[in-house]
Amino acid sequence: TDAAGIEGIDAAIDRAKAYADAGADLIFTEALHTEADFEKFRAAVDIPLLANMTEFGKSQLIPAKTLEGIGYNAVIYPVTTLRLAMFAAEQGLREIAETGTQAGLLDKMQHRSRLYELLDYQAYNEFDEGIFNFTVESAPETTKGQ
């Protein structure tokens, strides 16, 4: 519920309770401003809660351990990695525009070997080899006029 951003924390709690009564499995809390708001919400709502820690929003950025201590069941960072990647891309493209090369950026890049390690590329490759085990026969030649 994002009612807290418009109607206040009490309205958001009332709405969350109505969702819980209707069978919601989890409440996505949005636009809670302070740690005290998160605590108040947790104390009032008995089903699992998700905290949205998006940057530049209305909520104070609260550490995951603190949210866990309050009793939140999940926390998301929905745009964090995109913002990090776009910042790095912007900086890298600026350097390329200024210098004409990416040579000075190599130490800031993820190496292919690290990417393969993160993706467990070898396991995927072995899996592919296990299922891609056939050959395609060439179609027989045809003669004109037949």
Q: Is residue 136 part of a domain?
A: no
d(CA 59, CA 9): 12
48 CB burial (10 A radius; 0-12, 13-18, 19+) = middle
Q: Is the pLDDT of residue 58 over 90?
A: no
Domain end among 76, 105, 120: 76
Residues 70 and 10 in one domain: yes
pLDDT at 55: 96
Would the pTM count as exceeding 0.85?
no
Which segments within the chain are labelled E, that is strand?
A: 27-29, 49-52, 74-76
Average pLDDT over residues 18-30: 96
Same domain, 15 and 70: yes
Report the domain count for the chain: 2
- The verdict on 12 and 42 lying in the same domain is yes
Same domain, 65 and 101: no
For range 21-45, the mean pLDDT:
96
User: Is residue 137 included in any domain, yes or no?
Assistant: no
